[in-house]
Structure 1
Amino acid sequence: MDGYKLGVVETRFAELIWQHEPLTSGELVKLCEQELQWKKSTTYTVLKKLCEHGIFQNENGTVTSLLSQEGYNAVQSEKFVEDTFDGSLPAFLAAFTTRKSLSEKDIAEIQRMIDRCGKE
């Protein structure tokens, strides 16, 4: 993926694929007609665009993801921290916690992630 950020409608489209994959391009057209009220041409245009960005592929009429929803979210999160906090996760956490308290559960989960990273 080239750092492309999905718009609101593209996100809904991508979520449909992630929820139903693998699916045929014909199934995707029907799904988009039902869920987004799109015509066939709109579905194929958006699919082609997201395939060009390396998020999905349409091989032999079967649509699958090249990047999972979790993977896409991870890339977007990394880009946000990089662009906004010069790549500093501690700076992001400091900014985040100035307006929102972390619960004991959040703190424990963050500590587990830190411990796991320290062992790798």
Structure 2
Amino acid sequence: MKGYKLTESEIKFTDLIWQNEPIGSGDLVKLCEKEMNWKKSTTYTVLKKLCEKGFFQNENSVISSLITKDEYYANQSVRFVEDTYGGSLPKFLTAFMGGRKLSNRQAEELKKLIDEHNEV
């Protein structure tokens, strides 16, 4: 999974699994037909690919995740900062803020995060 970026249709597919897991493969086929207008073969092809990439497991025709939605998006966020800002969180935050001001609450939350993750 590391470094793999989901396509738009894969995101919709993974969201269906994350929202309904554990889910039987037959129920997943029906859900994908209803929500994505996919045929059975498309569902199984994409499922097999994402199982091979380490997102899901298919045991006894029951699909469950090996990585959570939050873990996937956290990984993508780190990758974005690394690729776009050379891994510099301060550069990313400066660009993200774009001259906007933080509320007192937001500033306190950031200070707390920094304290919790600060290398001593």
Scaled by the length of structure 1, the TM-score of the pair is 0.91
Task: Please identify, of 109-118 and 45-54, the stretch whose mean Cα deviation from structure 2 is larger.
Answer: 109-118
Q: Per the alignment, do residues 33 and 99 of structure 1 end up closer, same or farther by CA in structure 2, a change over 3 Å counting?
A: farther
CA distance in 2, matches of 1:60, 1:54: 17
3-state DSSP class of the match of 2:73? helix
CA RMSD in angstroms, aligned pairs only: 1.6
Give the Å deviation of 1:37: 1.0
Is 2:10 aligned against 1:10? yes
Give the Å deviation of 1:54: 0.8
CA distance in 1, matches of 2:75, 2:55: 11
Structure 1 residue identity aligned to 2:57:
Q
State the identity as a percent: 56
Q: Per the alignment, do residues 63 and 109 of structure 1 end up closer, same or farther by CA in structure 2, a change over 3 Å counting?
A: same
CA distance in 2, matches of 1:3, 1:34: 30
- Look up the match of 1:45: 45
3-state DSSP class of the match of 2:109? helix
1:60-79 aligned within 5 A: 60-79=60-79
- Look up the match of 1:35: 35
- Look up the match of 1:98: 98
Structure 2 residue identity aligned to 1:91:
K
- Look up the match of 1:86: 86
Give the Å deviation of 1:112: 1.8
Q: Per the alignment, do residues 13 and 117 of structure 1 end up closer, same or farther by CA in structure 2, a change over 3 Å counting?
A: same
Deviating 4+ runs (over 6 angstroms): none
Consecutive unaligned residues of structure 2, counting only runs of 5 or more, are none
Scaled by the length of structure 2, the TM-score of the pair is 0.91
Structure 2 residue identity aligned to 1:13:
F
3-state DSSP class of the match of 2:118? helix
Give the Å deviation of 1:113: 1.1
3-state DSSP class of the match of 1:14? helix
Give the Å deviation of 1:100: 4.3
